[in-house]
Structure 1
Amino acid sequence: MAKTNPVQFVQQTRAEIGKIVWPGRREVVLTTVMVFLLAIVAATFFFFVDLIIRTGLTEVLAYF
């Protein structure tokens, strides 16, 4: 494996950092809102799945 000169390494690192595209404020806010909404949807879904399974098991166990 070829070793890179420290000066070249710093130059390459600065060049790569220059390629970074930072998201704008609107994109960050929109993405954050979407994450929270999907978390609420997932929590609601799993709440109802758990409720159905718990109710079913309670009925089955009460039968015996």
Structure 2
Amino acid sequence: MARTNPLQFVQQVRSEVGKVSWPTRREVMLTTVMVFIMASLTAVFFALVDMAIRGGLRGVLSLFG
């Protein structure tokens, strides 16, 4: 592999960073809000599943104990 000097490396990095399509502030905020909403919905779902399993196990164990 060919070696490049540090100056060429920095120039190449800057040119590659210039090609990146950066999101707008609005897109970042919207995506962040959506992540929080989805995380909250997932937490509620798993809490409900946990309560259902706990209730089922209590019901089964109460039959034997």
Alignment of 1:1-64 (within 5 A): 1-64=1-64
- Sequence identity, in percent? 62
Which whole-Å CA distance do the structure 2 matches of 1:17 and 1:50 have between them?
46
Which whole-Å CA distance do the structure 2 matches of 1:32 and 1:6 have between them?
37
Runs of 4+ displaced beyond 2 Å:
none
1:14 shift after superposition = 1.0
Which whole-Å CA distance do the structure 2 matches of 1:39 and 1:31 have between them?
12
1:21 shift after superposition = 2.3
Which whole-Å CA distance do the structure 2 matches of 1:9 and 1:26 have between them?
33
1:35 shift after superposition = 0.6
Count residues with an aligned counterpart.
64
AA partner of residue 9 (structure 1): F
Which whole-Å CA distance do the structure 2 matches of 1:10 and 1:25 have between them?
27
TM-score, normalized by length of structure 1?
Answer: 0.87
AA partner of residue 49 (structure 1): V
Query: Which consecutive unaligned segments of at least 5 residues does structure 2 have?
Result: none
